[in-house]
A and B are shown apart, each in its own frame.
Chain A
Amino acid sequence: MTVVPMATTDIKEEPPVSLWRDAWFRLRRNRLAVFGLGVVVLLAFTALFGPYLTPFDFLSQNLDARNMPPSLTHLFGTDDLGRDVFSRVIFGTRTAFLVAIVVTAIAVVIGVTLGALAGFFGGWLDRVVMWLTDMTMSIPNLLLVVVINASLKSPISSWMESRYLATLNPFYRETIWVDFLLVFGSMALISWPPYARLVRAQVLSIRSRPYITAAQALGLTNRIILMRYVVPNALGPLIVAVSAGLGTAMVLESAFSFLGVGVNPPTPSWGNMISDGLRVWQHYPHLLAAPAAVLGLASVAFSFLGDGLNDALNPRGAK
């Protein structure tokens, strides 16, 4: 007996279209998402190459040109120390992206690992992870950041200062990265639970799908099944969450810096610029408007992009 040939009408002749490519086509049709993506790309470009795009250093003061309104030389004017606001907003973009990307990356790694393990293996591991998640989520994030700042920041800074005076090692001179370390650390600590919950829920539903049983019946190890079969299928909603999470992290960084528990002056952050601008906004509204507008734009862009990705990656949920 011979193998019966399949009817040729069964075969599509187009080149293989991956799920991601398919999603990209759908994303491109969504105008708001394209706008969001455009703004995000522009901001990312600014964050990367910003210092080369502006003639002024974000720290250089010009006391002869304080509080200047926007002009061709200073696109967003100058602040009360005569620093170029445009340069500072651009450097603030750098701060915002750096914080958002590092924090989200840490949070995603922790969240995905814990969520996937909890969902896949269940049992006591699941209970422990969920208990940890609930506990972390119950901590008021602002309070945690304030506590970490109040308790850790000055000891570390003074320890570094004394080390520098004792050794004159330049490693201990710069304390800006202590700022960043504390901001990254405390924000990552409170940002991972949503990712863990999301991934766990995804994995719970994927775990019972027939292709997982099929993979187990092939004798594949749990590690391979988890990494090649479970997690890739959970990526769609995760990408949406990450896009929204990046925007949230930026806003959160600005909020902390605004309150003085995030990135501290002279390092520019949209948050501490808004805080400075707020004091004089009746006289120099551009000092408030410039960083606030950019922060708003970034936040809106990430949320549009997230919505668009959601529709593109979950076509059944779209209208």
Chain B
Amino acid sequence: MTKTNTSERLLDVKGLTIEIETRNGPATIVDGIDLHVNKGETLGVVGESGCGKSLTMLSLMRLLPNKIRVTKGTAHFAGRDLQTMSNSELRKVRGGEVGFVFQDPMTSLNPVMRIGQQLAEPLIYHRGMNKAQARKRAGELLKLVGIPGAEDRLDAYPHELSGGMRQRVMIAIGLACNPQLLIADEPTTALDVTIQAQIVDLVKELRDRLGMSIVWITHDLALIAGLVDRVAVLYAGTVVEDAPVDDLFARPAHPYTQGLLASIPKLSDERASRLSSIGGTPPEPGRRPKGCPFAPRCPLAEAICHDKVPVLESLVSAGAHRVACFVAQRKLEAA
């Protein structure tokens, strides 16, 4: 695994807030998210469905659907402000410097275009290649992502490939222009478990070979344990915990993270034991509690949790381990 000590931030998101327009006025979906990715680092973003993971990533590239808007906060990529840069500049970043891999490989490829053409598109556009060069490079890319008979597959249509193969093609498209950052939005959710492991291994190998940074969004903590350097845990549109991956598994500080880890089934469990789960459901956008968004479901919640919103702060003992929880922070001070 590539670990880097440089604190140079490739992606730096501060206080990002996203709102959706509803009939009852604007509702907050993402509430002041702080995220950063260092050069060469792999960040895992974990959270349950609807916590704003995907929207945050789409908002970085200004790809939000209608009626959903960034209302506060900044996002910088390699020192440049993504929210204010011109459209033409942004287009160079999209695909050229930041590659995207989407959740559903079945619908994320253009069904009426051959695989080779779809791979060639960004190469022609961003790298100024001619058709022959782009086709040659497309063949190399398919080989790179481990598609057998790569050259013959260039003329295939998406519907002729299996899900796993299509996701490999998506990854190849995302990597086409050697991006500095690859954003993978739940790239394995739509795939079989065995194929999931293959894709994770593939990305890990490609990262080590190409030396890029990765943001891997998922709701499956166990899947990315061996892949990422650091994990940011999202709950209801806020980062509740941000820690190096080993630290997070060894000493989860936020009650939500603890609950997530406890809900992963283990082979050593007794056969008849019930799967542990977190009671309740996340708050709907527009109906967020006044204090900590997790307080209504939290087993450790105290009076202050229902009243004030905790901020993401470093735990005193470990500078890189940050958590947004009154109880966890006090426990540590007492210790």
Interface size class of B (residues with CB under 8 A): 35 or more
Interface-side segment among A67-75, A84-92, A139-147, A228-236: A228-236
Cα separation A216 to B64 with both chains bound (whole Å)? 11
A 1-20 binary contact with B (CB < 8 Å = 1; else 0): 11111101011100011110
Cα separation A16 to B117 with both chains bound (whole Å)? 14
Contact of B112 among A2, A19, A219 (CB under 8 A): A19
| Residue pair A19, B111 in contact (C-beta under 8 Å) | yes
Contact of A216 among B63, B103, B146 (CB under 8 A): B63
Q: How many residues on A have C-beta within 8 angstroms of the other chain's C-beta atoms?
A: 34
A 200-234 binary contact with B (CB < 8 Å = 1; else 0): 00000000111101111111110010001100110
From known contacts A218-B122, A224-B125, infer whether A5 and B148 are also in contact, taking CB-CB under 8 Å. Answer: yes
Check: B162 CB closer than 8 A to any chain A CB. Answer: yes
Query: Measured between C-beta atoms, what is the minimum distance from B269 to chain A in Å?
Result: 29
Query: Measured between C-beta atoms, what is the minimum distance from A80 to chain B in Å?
Result: 55
On chain A, the residues within 8 Å of B35 by CB distance are none
On chain A, the residues within 8 Å of B113 by CB distance are 228-229, 232
On chain B, the residues within 8 Å of A213 by CB distance are 58, 63, 102, 108
| Residue pair A4, B201 in contact (C-beta under 8 Å) | yes
On chain B, the residues within 8 Å of A11 by CB distance are 148-149
On chain A, the residues within 8 Å of B104 by CB distance are 210
Cα separation A233 to B111 with both chains bound (whole Å)? 8
On chain A, the residues within 8 Å of B63 by CB distance are 213, 216-217
Contact of B146 among A4, A8, A217 (CB under 8 A): A4
| Residue pair A3, B102 in contact (C-beta under 8 Å) | no
Cα separation A209 to B93 with both chains bound (whole Å)? 22
| Residue pair A218, B157 in contact (C-beta under 8 Å) | no
| Residue pair A10, B94 in contact (C-beta under 8 Å) | no
Contact of A6 among B66, B108, B109, B147 (CB under 8 A): B147
Chain B residue, CB-CB nearest to A214: B108
| Residue pair B157, A220 in contact (C-beta under 8 Å) | no
Check: B14 CB closer than 8 A to any chain A CB. Answer: no
Contact of B94 among A8, A208, A209, A218 (CB under 8 A): A218
Chain A residue, CB-CB nearest to B163: A10
Cα separation A224 to B113 with both chains bound (whole Å)? 13
* B window 124-180: CB within 8 A of A: 125-126, 145-149, 155-157, 159-162, 164-165, 168, 170, 173
| Residue pair A16, B157 in contact (C-beta under 8 Å) | yes
On chain B, the residues within 8 Å of A229 by CB distance are 110, 113
Query: Measured between C-beta atoms, what is the minimum distance from A96 to chain B in Å?
Result: 32
On chain B, the residues within 8 Å of A10 by CB distance are 161-162, 164-165
* B window 222-253: CB within 8 A of A: none
Query: Measured between C-beta atoms, what is the minimum distance from A121 to chain B in Å?
Result: 11
Check: B279 CB closer than 8 A to any chain A CB. Answer: no
On chain A, the residues within 8 Å of B156 by CB distance are 16
B 27-70 binary contact with A (CB < 8 Å = 1; else 0): 00000000000000000000000000000001001010110000
Chain A residue, CB-CB nearest to B156: A16
Check: B198 CB closer than 8 A to any chain A CB. Answer: yes
Query: Measured between C-beta atoms, what is the minimum distance from B320 to chain A in Å?
Result: 26
Cα separation A6 to B192 with both chains bound (whole Å)? 13
From known contacts A12-B160, A16-B157, A216-B94, infer whether A4 and B112 are also in contact, taking CB-CB under 8 Å. Answer: no
From known contacts A16-B157, A19-B112, infer whether A219 and B201 are also in contact, taking CB-CB under 8 Å. Answer: no
On chain A, the residues within 8 Å of B61 by CB distance are 216-217
Chain B residue, CB-CB nearest to A14: B160
| Residue pair B125, A219 in contact (C-beta under 8 Å) | yes
| Residue pair B102, A214 in contact (C-beta under 8 Å) | yes
On chain B, the residues within 8 Å of A5 by CB distance are 146, 148
On chain A, the residues within 8 Å of B147 by CB distance are 6
From known contacts A11-B149, A210-B102, infer whether A17 and B91 are also in contact, taking CB-CB under 8 Å. Answer: no
| Residue pair B100, A3 in contact (C-beta under 8 Å) | no
Contact of A219 among B65, B93, B165, B197 (CB under 8 A): B93
Cα separation A175 to B126 with both chains bound (whole Å)? 54
Check: B202 CB closer than 8 A to any chain A CB. Answer: yes
* B window 185-218: CB within 8 A of A: 197-198, 201-202, 204-205, 208
Contact of B107 among A2, A211, A215 (CB under 8 A): A211
Chain B residue, CB-CB nearest to A2: B205
Check: B72 CB closer than 8 A to any chain A CB. Answer: no
| Residue pair A214, B100 in contact (C-beta under 8 Å) | yes
On chain A, the residues within 8 Å of B146 by CB distance are 3-6
| Residue pair A210, B108 in contact (C-beta under 8 Å) | yes
Check: B293 CB closer than 8 A to any chain A CB. Answer: no
| Residue pair B107, A209 in contact (C-beta under 8 Å) | yes
On chain B, the residues within 8 Å of A4 by CB distance are 146, 197-198, 201-202
Cα separation A18 to B158 with both chains bound (whole Å)? 10
| Residue pair B148, A219 in contact (C-beta under 8 Å) | no
Chain B residue, CB-CB nearest to A213: B63
Chain A residue, CB-CB nearest to B88: A221
| Residue pair B202, A3 in contact (C-beta under 8 Å) | yes
Chain B residue, CB-CB nearest to A6: B148
Query: Measured between C-beta atoms, what is the minimum distance from A143 to chain B in Å?
Result: 39
On chain B, the residues within 8 Å of A209 by CB distance are 107
Cα separation A12 to B159 with both chains bound (whole Å)? 11
On chain B, the residues within 8 Å of A233 by CB distance are 110-112
Chain B residue, CB-CB nearest to A229: B110
Cα separation A195 to B122 with both chains bound (whole Å)? 32
Check: B290 CB closer than 8 A to any chain A CB. Answer: no
| Residue pair A218, B95 in contact (C-beta under 8 Å) | yes
| Residue pair A217, B198 in contact (C-beta under 8 Å) | no
Contact surface of A with B, Cβ cutoff 8 Å:
1-6, 8, 10-12, 16-19, 122, 208-211, 213-221, 224, 228-229, 232-233, 235
Q: Which 5 residue pairs spanning A and B have beta carbons closest together?
A: A219-B94, A3-B146, A218-B95, A219-B95, A217-B100
7 additional A-B residue pairs with CB within 8 Å, beyond A4-B198, A219-B93: A6-B198, A8-B148, A10-B164, A211-B108, A213-B63, A217-B94, A218-B125
